[in-house]
Structure 1
Amino acid sequence: MSSDDAWIGDSQPYLAARQRDEQDAWSSEAAARGRKGTQQLLAVHEVEGPAAVREFFRTLPGELVVVRRRLILLDGAPIELADSYYPSSVARGTALAANRKIKGGAITLLATLGFVPEDEPLEDIGATIATPGQCEELQLRPSTPVLVLTRFTRSTNNTPVEVSVMTMTRHLQYRHRKEAS
């Protein structure tokens, strides 16, 4: 997606459980703009998470977490890689650890497991040069810059439940809400 067709994003739909037969948040967001948003599940593994994931989940070195890797597409073109990490204590034995799509999405499943996501997760945004693997998956030229948005989500009972690392080729705009004082 070029900056010419950027739209203002909102994280809230991605943190809300979906209703039965409701589209996932990405498909709904794209459809609202007359576009087609889809995703492909690339893999589900148990891995030692990156440092930020280990720190957020308070896991020890060598302790495994579940990662779900997805390729996000807009009108059939890859625009984002999304890796979502879950504590093994939450994910093992659930659809989060299965190599298949989750009906209603991971957030809906977490809510049914008693881990309702908080309303205001921490989001960290940075820029880097895409790795050769990312260039291949996102169909980018070597040395292409990408944005990396990392979302740290706790449940309403303060349990760390998800870290999503989204490597994207698109322009982002955010609207912030002002709270009354």
Structure 2
Amino acid sequence: MARELKSEALARSLREQMDSGELPPGAPLPTTAQLRDAGHSTSTIQTAVAILRREGRIETRQGARPRVLPQRAIITHSASYVTPVDGKRATWKSTLADLGMEGTQELGRVGEVEAPADVAAALEIECGESVIVRPRVMRADGEAVQLADSYYPLDLASGTPLARQGLVKGGLYGVLAAVGLTPGDTEEELTWPSPTQEEQERMRIGPDVCIVRQVRTTRVTDGRAVGVDVMVLRADRHRLRYHLPAQ
């Protein structure tokens, strides 16, 4: 595990004060003098401020102290990622753009891994059987707000863009169309666990930050599960909406 830089530790400390309400929206950050008195060097302070500004947590103006910005809610409709509207499904980028934010994603190493127990159960394969994983960190205005790790059976994903490093045009649905499969039902399960150490490190959050774990299983028309998305959402940044039509 990489050692945390002093500037990253200071940025994390200030971020935690914002999340706890100790530094509410509109409040100024501690002065440079106060932070120096706390043992931080000028270069550490400047870098930490730059990190928070890049994440969209603060605003800086010449001649004024940096101030905490309000954090806008990320409102998502699960159905919009599954059911096309005017021939298009929602994407992270389009969802965030509709909310006036920039949505970006950082793709980790794509490759074969042993299926975690819950993923294996959802895909109806043996625990530990190899699957393709596509791990991503989702960002809103530069801040990590969600993890999205997608798992696919080897026999489906091997030899397709799902198994290659890089973005996949059309995602899973594009690959299904290319191999002649038709999407069927999609299921979601929500839980509210504490973040694991790995999740804390990937999103740069503390152990007390509340998260929602959202597991989405996609099936084709014959009932076979062809994809499992395991998403970890910062609860303080997300609002999930579901439309449940009458029968």
Q: TM-score range by the shorter chain?
A: 0.7 to 0.9
Could you tell me which residue of structure 2 aligns to residue 9 of structure 1?
76
CA distance in 2, matches of 1:124, 1:50: 16
Find the structure with the greater CA-based Rg.
2
State which drifts further: 58-67 or 159-168: 58-67
How many residues of Structure 1 are paired with residues of Structure 2 in the alignment? 177
Q: How does 1:25-64 map to 2 (within 5 A)?
A: 25-64=91-130
CA shift in 2, pair 1:101/1:75, >3 Å: same
Could you tell me which residue of structure 1 aligns to residue 44 of structure 2?
none
RMSD of aligned residue pairs (Cα, Å): 2.6
Contact 1:46–1:65 (CA under 8 A) maintained in structure 2: yes
Stretches of 4+ aligned residues off by more than 6 angstroms: 17-20
Name whichever structure is richer in helix by fraction: 2
CA distance in 2, matches of 1:30, 1:62: 35
Higher RCO, 1 vs 2 (CA within 8 Å, ≥6 residues apart):
1
Counterpart residue identity of residue 97, structure 2: A
Could you tell me which residue of structure 1 aligns to residue 226 of structure 2?
161
Structure 1 gap ranges (5+): none
With the length of structure 2 as denominator, give the TM-score of the two structures. Answer: 0.64
Structure 2 gap ranges (5+): 1-18, 20-69
Could you tell me which residue of structure 2 aligns to residue 176 of structure 1?
243
Counterpart residue identity of residue 33, structure 1: L
Counterpart residue identity of residue 138, structure 1: M
Deviations 1:120-149 (A, max 9, x none): 411111111112221121121234221110
Percent of aligned pairs with the same amino acid: 34
Q: How much does 1:103 deviate? A: 2.1
CA distance in 2, matches of 1:7, 1:37: 10
Deviations 1:24-43 (A, max 9, x none): 61111111111111111112
